[in-house]
Amino acid sequence: MPRFRAPSLGLSLLLLLLAALVWWSWPQHPLSLPYIDWHGQIHKGDQAAEDVVMRQYTAAGKLDLLATARTAYHEPRVDRTMLSQVAVERFKPGQQLHLRANQGVVERHGHRIVLSGNVIGTLQPDTRVLTTEVRYDPQTGIITSPEPVRLERGQDWMTGVGLWASVKTQEMNILHDVRGMYVP
């Protein structure tokens, strides 16, 4: 009958030391994860991330669009990414844009970005747009909103319902119920 042979003292001490290191380095409480609204369901393939940075470049390799978000949750089944604490910035000369909002949704392979919740946009250095929701198409540079809107330029302001704006031409139109104040 073969005799059982115990490991050497050195090997036993090494294994004990490794086990102790694993024990002491193991987190004492669960790691905190960002809060993401899972809509009550998680599906295979869904992805979540925090401190997200998305970049889009021109054909010449220059930065065209930069979007940041605190959290992102992507549903590949419907090709939609939900974002929180979103900022979108466009860098093309003469077509600068800065949008920020509490939430955002990127749909259809990034062809449309819907921002909602305390939306603040800057289209020219001195023009601000304030509303609750905008839809931005990065390819065409068109911004639309069906919601009440306030445009501010210096001391002048206009309010109304609905917005159509072109980042390329710097043209903005409030669609109806327009009121405003012009300070000469």
Give the separation between CA 174 and CA 159, rounded to whole angstroms.
8
Query: Is 100 domain-assigned?
Result: yes
**Would you say residue 52 has pLDDT above 80?**
yes
Query: Is 35 domain-assigned?
Result: no
Give one DSSP letter per residue of 88-131, joined into a string: EEE-STT--EEEEEEEEEEETTTTEEEEEEEEEEEEETTEEEEE
Query: Is 38 domain-assigned?
Result: no
pLDDT at 108: 66
Q: Which CATH number is 84's domain given?
A: 2.60.450.10
Query: Is 6 domain-assigned?
Result: no
Total tally of structural domains belonging to the chain: 1
Cβ(91)–Cβ(61) under 8 Å? Answer: no
Among 44, 118, 42, 47, CA closest to 87: 118
Q: How far lies 109's CA from each of 36, 69, 113, 149, in Å?
A: 21, 17, 10, 27
Give the separation between CA 47 and CA 59, rounded to whole angstroms.
29
For the segment 89-117, what is each residue's pLDDT rounded down to a tens digit?
888 777 788 999 999 988 766 678 899 99
Query: Is 13 domain-assigned?
Result: no
pLDDT at 10: 72
Q: What is the mean pLDDT of the chain?
A: 80
For the segment 119-172, what is each residue's pLDDT rounded down to a tens digit?
999 887 688 999 999 998 888 889 999 999 998 888 888 999 999 988 888 888
Query: Is 112 domain-assigned?
Result: yes
pLDDT at 90: 86
For the segment 7-24, what is each residue's pLDDT rounded down to a tens digit?
677 777 777 777 777 766
Q: What pTM did the predictor assign? A: 0.70
Among 40, 39, 36, 66, CA closest to 49: 36
What is the span of the domain harbouring residue 52?
A: 47-181
Query: Is 167 domain-assigned?
Result: yes
**Would you say residue 78 has pLDDT above 60?**
yes
Cβ(143)–Cβ(153) under 8 Å? Answer: no
Query: Is 11 domain-assigned?
Result: no
